[in-house]
Amino acid sequence: MSAGPPDPPRLRALPSALPSDSELVARSLDEPEVFASLFDRHAVGVHRYLGRRVGERADDLLSETFLIAFRRRVSIVSDENADLSVHVGLQDAWRGYTADNMLDDVMGMGPVSTVTVNGRSAQLGFADDPELQDEPLWWLGGQFADGTLFLLQASAEFTEADVLAMAAQVTYNP
C-alpha cells in the first residue's frame, strides 16, 4: 500500500507563443512536414464534427479533408507584418457546398452577407469568437465561372473592401 495518491504526471511546458494556423500554413509551403502540426491541432475537433454529420464515414473523410487542405494550400503573408495573411482554397462539390451556403458550417461565424464578386453571388462573414477561432478572420465563399467554388480567409487587419478586392483577383486554371 502506498502512503497517498500517486504524483501527478509531469506536464511539458508549451512555448509561450504557439504559431497561428496562418503561420503554419505559410511555413508549410517551404517545409511541408509543418502541415502535420495543423492536423495535430485540429483533427479531434474536425473528427467530432464529421462524426455528428456523417457517422462512421468520419475517419475516411477526416483523412481526405486534411489531404485536400494540404494539396490546395495557398498562402500570402506580408514580410513586414505576419498578421496580414490571406489563404485561398478550392472547395469540393461532394461536400454539398454552393456559393450560397459555404460559410454555414464555419464555427464562430457572425452574420453572413451576400455580396457579388466578378458578377457572381458570394458570401462574406467575419468570425471572431475567441472560444472557436485562433484569430479573428474574414471568410469569403465564392464561385468561378465554371462553377468551381473557392474559400478565401483573410486576416482581421484587412477591411471588408480589401477582402472583396482580393476575391475579385482570385483566378483558377483547371
Where is the domain boundary, 73, 89, 114? 73
Residue 113 lies in a domain: yes
Residues 156 and 107 in one domain: yes
- pLDDT tens series, the chain, 174 aa: 556 666 665 655 555 567 877 778 778 878 888 888 888 888 888 888 778 777 888 888 788 777 777 766 655 554 455 555 666 777 665 466 777 777 776 766 778 889 999 899 899 988 886 665 567 888 888 888 888 888 888 888 888 998 998 888 887 776
Q: Could you give the number of structural domains in the chain? A: 2
The whole-angstrom separation of Cα 133 and Cα 110 is 12
The answer to whether residue 7 sits within a structural domain is: no
**Rounded to an integer, what is the distance from CA 32 to the centroid of its chain?**
17
Same domain, 128 and 60: no
Tell me what pLDDT residue 78 has. 47
Mark whether 146 and 131 lie in a shared domain: yes
- Residue 145 in domain: yes
Q: Please indicate, yes or no, whether residues 103 and 43 belong to a single structural domain of this protein.
A: no
Which pLDDT does position 116 carry in this prediction? 92
Cα separation, 124 vs 77, whole angstroms: 21
Contact of 123 with 141, CB cutoff 8 Å: yes
Q: Is the dihedral of CA 161, 162, 163, 169 positive or negative?
A: positive
**Residue 135 maps to a domain:** yes
Quick one: pLDDT at residue 134?
A: 66
Residue 3 lies in a domain: no
My answer on whether 118 and 33 are in the same domain is: no
Mark which of 38, 56, 73 sits at the end of a domain.
Answer: 73
The answer to whether 154 and 163 have CB atoms below 8 angstroms apart is yes
Interatomic CA distance for residues 164 and 124, integer angstroms: 9
Residue 94 forms part of a structural domain: yes
Last residue of a domain, one of 73, 108, 137: 73
Examine residue 14 and state whether it is found in any structural domain, yes or no.
no
Residue range of the domain that includes 153: 74-174
Q: Are 67 and 79 in a shared domain?
A: no
Let me know whether 30 and 105 are in one domain. Answer: no
Q: Are residues 138 and 107 in the same domain?
A: yes
Q: Over the chain, what HEC string results? A: CCCCCCCCCCCCCCCCCCCCHHHHHHHHHHCHHHHHHHHHHHHHHHHHHHHHHHHHHHHHHHHHHHHHHHHCCCEEECCCCCCCEEEEEEECHHHCCCCCCCCCCCCCEEEEEEEEECCEEEEEEEECCCCCCCCCEEEEEEECCCCCEEEEEEECCCCHHHHHHHHHHCCCCC
